[in-house]
C-alpha cells in the first residue's frame, strides 16, 4: 500500500510526473492505475517467467540473459532518432544495418513496437531503434550517425 501513497503524492504535486510503481500483488493493479501510476513493475511475475523459461527453454534463457546482462559479445542498445538525425526519411534497407554487423530488432514508434520491420519501413523522427550486435559495432553506428546531424 505504501507505493500507492507515494504514487498519489507524486501525482498530487504534478500530473506530469511519470510514476513507475512496484506491484507485488496482482489483485491491486487497478488501484495503482487509478492512483495514476504510468508504469507498473511486477518483479514476482518477471521472475516467474524467467524461471519457467530457464526450465523449459534453457538455451534461449542463457542467450537472452547473456545479452541483457552484457556477459556475451552481443548487446542490445537503443538509438533515439532526433529531428535532424541522418536516418530520418531513410528506409531500413537504405540503412543496411547488416553492413555494420547489426541486427535491427525493431522500432518503437508512438508507443507501439514494430518487430522485425520490413526493408521498406521508413525511419521517422522520434523513432527508437532497437539494435543488437557487438559493442564495437553499436559504438561505430552511434558515432557515425551522430557526426552526420
Least confident of 38-47, 62-71, 123-132: 62-71
Residue 147 has pLDDT above 70, yes or no: no
- Whether residue 59 contacts residue 95, with contact meaning beta carbons closer than 8 Å, is answered with no
Model confidence at 146, in pLDDT bands (50, 70, 90)?
low
Residues counted in the chain: 149
Helix (H, G, I), strand (E, B) or coil at 80: strand
Helix (H, G, I), strand (E, B) or coil at 20: strand
Average pLDDT of the chain, as a whole number: 88
**Residue 107: enclosing H or E segment and its boundaries?**
strand 102-109
* Share above pLDDT 70 across residues of the chain, in percent, rounded to a whole number: 94
What pLDDT is stored for residue 63 in this prediction?
Answer: 83
Residue range(s) occupied by CATH 3.30.70.1450 in the chain? 73-146
CB atoms within 10 A of CB 1: 8
Q: Which residue has the higher pLDDT, 148 or 77?
A: 77
Residues 6 or more apart whose Cβ sits within 8 Å of residue 8: 35, 36
Q: What is the pLDDT of residues 82-94, one digit of tens each?
A: 888 889 999 999 9
Give ∠ CA 81-82-84 in degrees, rounded to 5: 115
CATH number of 73-146: 3.30.70.1450
Model confidence at 131, in pLDDT bands (50, 70, 90)?
very high
Q: What is the DSSP letter of 112?
A: E
Amino acid at each position: 500500500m505504501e507505493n500507492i501513497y507515494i504514487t498519489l503524492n507524486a501525482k498530487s504535486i504534478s500530473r506530469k510526473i511519470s510514476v513507475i510503481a512496484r506491484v507485488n500483488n496482482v489483485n491491486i493493479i487497478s488501484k495503482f492505475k487509478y492512483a495514476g501510476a504510468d508504469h507498473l513493475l511486477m518483479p514476482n511475475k518477471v521472475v516467474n517467467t524467467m524461471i519457467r523459461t530457464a526450465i523449459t527453454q534453457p538455451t534461449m534463457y542463457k542467450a537472452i540473459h547473456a545479452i541483457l546482462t552484457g556477459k556475451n559479445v552481443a548487446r542490445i542498445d537503443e538509438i533515439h532518432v532526433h529531428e535532424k538525425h541522418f536516418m530520418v526519411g531513410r528506409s531500413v534497407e537504405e540503412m543496411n544495418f547488416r553492413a555494420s554487423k547489426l541486427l535491427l530488432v525493431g522500432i518503437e514508434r508512438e508507443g507501439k513496437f514494430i518487430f522485425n520491420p520490413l526493408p521498406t519501413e521508413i525511419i521517422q523522427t522520434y523513432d527508437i531503434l532497437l539494435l543488437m550486435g557487438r559493442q564495437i559495432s553499436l559504438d561505430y553506428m552511434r558515432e557515425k550517425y551522430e557526426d552526420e546531424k
